[in-house]
Amino acid sequence: MTSSYDALLLLSFGGPEGPDDVIPFLENVTRGRNIPRERLEAVGEHYYLFGGVSPINQLCRDLKGAIEADFASHGLDLPVYWGNRNWTPYLADTVRQMKADGVRRAAAFVTSAYSGYSTNDQYLADIARAREEVEDAPVIDKLPVYCDRPGFIDPFVDAAEDALSSLPADARLIFTAHSVPLSQPNRELYVDELEAASRTVAEKAAPGTPWDLVYQSRSGPPTQPWLEPQITDHLEKLHGEGVRAVAVVPIGFVSDHMEVKYDLDVEAAGRAEELGIAFARAATPGADPRFAALPRQLLLDETR
């Protein structure tokens, strides 16, 4: 099987791999952004709780392996590279390696499924900046946004069914995504896509079950409006309405990284427990073979 590309680039966020990495990582993430010092210190503690190791890099290694297996089993002979925005392997170093290996034209699969600034445009800017750092860099085309593709949706459908099956029959569905400032460019598109993906998963996994889309992991100064409601506030509201069980689906993410492991599995689950609400968190696609098939399907334009 052939394609017009001679490499695939897996592009991700990056995360610390030990306690000494945590502060430099957080400085990388927040450089030039208006994030209060207290928020940074609080987020540092989330990482220290896990030994200073974010799950995200291992998740990328696992996904890279699954993509390579998918390519191999479909006779697609294309090397897979991996680079990050905020930690090693830094994207510019990866692009330098690709150049040294003779890559001329690569397709980029980003570990973020949606349109919007943080989820799409910022990764495009990362690619442009990394290419500027490397003389005669390979061409790198970002593959299309994939939040509506079966390879992304279907693993969430199964995961939502699994989470619901562990709860009483009257459990509610909560979809959650990373909050962004209301002022962020293309925020409406991001929200529209999140709503559409949530609706599709809800209708397939549990037709008739009430569902809501809420947000998590906000930072920024309290005076700056971000997408709401936050999941913890939403749990309180549902509690007031007599809801006793929730299945939480992290539809805004592709893997169980720190925003999922801390903000949902520690913080939101802890709030639910205090409120006496049974809480089950649905898995993210991770290295599911259906998800790992998406880069090939997008490359060969045969997804739908």
Ligand X SMILES: CC1=C(CCC(=O)O)c2cc3nc(cc4[nH]c(cc5[nH]c(cc1n2)c(C)c5CCC(=O)O)c(CCC(=O)O)c4C)C(CCC(=O)O)=C3C
Cα 125 from Cα 131, distance rounded (Å): 10
Q: Is 234 annotated as a binding residue?
A: no
Cα 118 from Cα 37, distance rounded (Å): 21
Residues 259-278 that bind ligand X (CB under 6 A): 259
Cα 3 from Cα 5, distance rounded (Å): 5
Smallest distance from ligand X to CB 176, Å: 11
For residues 32 and 276, which CB has a smaller minimum distance to ligand X in the complex?
Answer: 32
Of 124, 97, 96, 98, residue with least CA distance to 110? 124
For residues 54 and 94, which CB has a smaller minimum distance to ligand X in the complex?
Answer: 54
For residues 37 and 304, which CB has a smaller minimum distance to ligand X in the complex?
Answer: 37
Smallest distance from ligand X to CB 265, Å: 12
Q: Is the dihedral of CA 180, 185, 191, 194 positive or negative?
A: negative
Residue nearest to ligand X (CB): 219
Residue 284 DSSP one-character state: P
- Candidates 112-120, 141-149, 157-165, 200-208: pick the segment binding ligand X (CB under 6 A): 112-120
Interface with ligand X, residue 15, by CB under 6 A: yes
Interface with ligand X, residue 298, by CB under 6 A: no
For residues 106 and 113, which CB has a smaller minimum distance to ligand X in the complex?
Answer: 113
Cα 188 from Cα 185, distance rounded (Å): 8
From the list 103, 180, 197, 245, which residue makes contact with ligand X (rule: CB under 6 A)? 180
For residues 35 and 287, which CB has a smaller minimum distance to ligand X in the complex?
Answer: 35
**Angle, in degrees to the nearest 10, between helices 91-100 and 122-133:** 50
From the list 112, 115, 284, 297, which residue makes contact with ligand X (rule: CB under 6 A)? 112
Interface with ligand X, residue 216, by CB under 6 A: no
Q: Is 259 annotated as a binding residue?
A: yes
Spell out a b/e string for 195-222, using b for 16 or more CB atoms within 10 Å of the CB, else e: eebbebbbeebbeebebbbbbbbbbbee
For residues 119 and 303, which CB has a smaller minimum distance to ligand X in the complex?
Answer: 119
Q: Is 215 annotated as a binding residue?
A: no
Interface with ligand X, residue 258, by CB under 6 A: yes
Interface with ligand X, residue 257, by CB under 6 A: yes
Residues 26-65 that bind ligand X (CB under 6 A): 26, 29-30, 33, 35, 39-40, 43, 54-56
Interface with ligand X, residue 84, by CB under 6 A: no
- Tell me if the bond preceding 89 is cis, omega within 30° of 0: yes
**In the β-sheet with 172-178, what is the strand arrangement from edge to edge?**
211-216, 172-178, 245-249, 278-281
C-alpha 72, offset from chain centre: 25
Amino acid at 17: E
* Binding string, residues 114-133; x marks residues near ligand X by CB under 6 A: ----xx--------------
Cα 299 from Cα 152, distance rounded (Å): 15
Q: Alpha helices of 134-230 — where are they, by DSSP H?
A: 150-165, 187-205
Cα 13 from Cα 112, distance rounded (Å): 9
Interface with ligand X, residue 214, by CB under 6 A: no
Q: Which helix (H) or strand (E) holds 75?
A: none
List of residues contacting ligand X (CB under 6 A)? 13, 15, 26, 29-30, 33, 35, 39-40, 43, 54-56, 111-112, 118-119, 178, 180, 217, 219, 252, 257-259
Enumerate the known binding-site residues.
54, 123, 178, 259
